[in-house]
Amino acid sequence: MVEAGRNGIEVERLVRVFKGDIRAVDGIDLEVAPGEIYGFLGPNGAGKSTTVHVLTTLLPPTSGRATVAGFDVVREGPKVREAIGAALQEAALDPLLTGREHLRLQTSLHGLPRAERGARTDELLERVGLTLAADRKVKGYSGGMKRRLDLALALVHRPRILFLDEPTTGLDPQSRTALWQEVGRLSHEDGVTVFLTTQYLEEADVLADRVGIIDHGRIVAEGTPARLKAEIGRPTVEAVPHEAGDLAAVAGVLEHFGERAPGPPEAVSVRLEQGEEELADIVRALDAEGLRVARLAIHAPTLDDVFLAKTGRSLEGAAAEDEQQAAEPVSA
């Protein structure tokens, strides 16, 4: 068991049920070591934000136990809050206040001595690159600027543990990269433990030391990104026949090289037993049968493959499903 201590997180059989018997978090166990960046990956509605709300003491759990920075989230809420900073899913800013006013308010609410508030405000503005925009009202900030201010506000009181709930959703690639760099710096240079939720594979892959994949309120896989992908192990080859009628014949050829894997209906996907070196043999085999393919691609395992293997659904497909459900008109 990880020694959570001052900077770690321990969660045991955590459950949170909402009205209508909705089990948003359905018995999760996890541990985050001090100084680690833990990526909590899952589609919309998986339970990521609810977990964050419980760990940041905003919601009591229905059952189970969690300690953050060594304090119980139910019995020692104020102590937890002193030790953590959080940038939640909504940027949670007041459009009528300036960036500097936000920070001044936050410094005063956190009880920083009056003499320190100005200096701390300036320091944080500089750190997140908002010095020039500090005295503009937040309603004039771009999405990236709002997120940076959000992060600065979470760091006002020098927390030991930082919770980031989908911090880069809606940001352009440049802003996203800048935020990743800052998060990495916080962890590696300042020793801050980071609990990060995301629905972006790349974010978890690039940023997180360890990843927990959550679906329907339960953790379905956990480990370092490399280990999780290695568990799935082998690459997948995907072939789209030139003639739709050849699908079965192509499948018959490819299944000599490995087991059938889930994939798009117009293609045959097979997880290779040996590895990428089989590609040449596959091409020869298809040619020998006189089968033409419109596309032949090889995919190295991704976290999406991990999710797919564990849940039978693609993480990206789950996101598209959610978008479709959101777009469907509600019947009168």
Partner 1 sequence: MALAEQTAQLARRSVIRTARQPANVIGPFVFPLMLLAVNAGGLNPAAQLPGFPTDSFLAFALAVPFIQGALFATMNAGTDLARDIQTGFLNRLSLTPMRSIALLGGQLGGAVVMGLTQALVYLAVGLAVGVRIESGVLGAVVLILLSALIVLAFGALGAFAALRTGSGEAVQGLFPVLFVGLFLSSMNMPRNLIEIGWFQTVATLNPVSYLIEGVRSLIIEGWNPEALALAFGVAVAIGVVGLTASSWALRERLTRT
Task: Decide if residue 101 touches partner 1 (CB under 8 A).
Answer: yes
Tokens of 91: 């940027």
Binding mask 71-100 for partner 1 (x = CB under 8 A): --xxx-xx-xxx-xxx-xxxxxxx-xx---
Tokens of 286: 């298809």
Phi-psi region of 43 (alpha: psi -120 to 50; beta: other; left: phi over 0): beta
Side chain identity at residue 216, one-letter code? H
Nearer Cβ to partner 1 (169/223): 169
Q: For residues 156 and 53, what is the distance between their CA atoms, to the nearest angstrom?
A: 20
- Orientation of helix 225-232 relative to helix 303-311, angle to 10°: 60
Q: For residues 244 and 80, what is the distance between their CA atoms, to the nearest angstrom?
A: 59
Q: What's the min distance (Å) between Cβ of 86 and partner 1?
A: 6
Q: For residues 210 and 203, what is the distance between their CA atoms, to the nearest angstrom?
A: 12
From candidates 7, 51, 67, 106, binder to partner 1 by CB under 8 A: 106
DSSP 331: P
Closest CA to 125 of 94, 104, 96, 97: 104
Nearer Cβ to partner 1 (60/191): 60
Q: What's the min distance (Å) between Cβ of 117 and partner 1?
A: 11
Q: What's the min distance (Å) between Cβ of 105 and partner 1?
A: 6
Neighbours of 206 (CB within 10 A): 14
From candidates 109, 119, 230, 294, binder to partner 1 by CB under 8 A: 109
Q: What's the min distance (Å) between Cβ of 23 and partner 1?
A: 18
Closest CA to 102 of 85, 113, 88, 117: 117
Sites for partner 1 among residues 29-58 (CB under 8 A): 56-58
Nearer Cβ to partner 1 (29/82): 82
Q: What's the min distance (Å) between Cβ of 165 and partner 1?
A: 10
Task: Decide if residue 320 touches partner 1 (CB under 8 A).
Answer: no
Q: What's the min distance (Å) between Cβ of 94 and partner 1?
A: 6
From candidates 4, 14, 25, 153, binder to partner 1 by CB under 8 A: 153
From candidates 3, 22, 108, 190, binder to partner 1 by CB under 8 A: 108
126 Cα distance to chain centroid: 27
Sites of contact with partner 1 (CB under 8 A): 56-60, 73-75, 77-78, 80-82, 84-86, 88-94, 96-97, 101, 105-106, 108-111, 137, 153
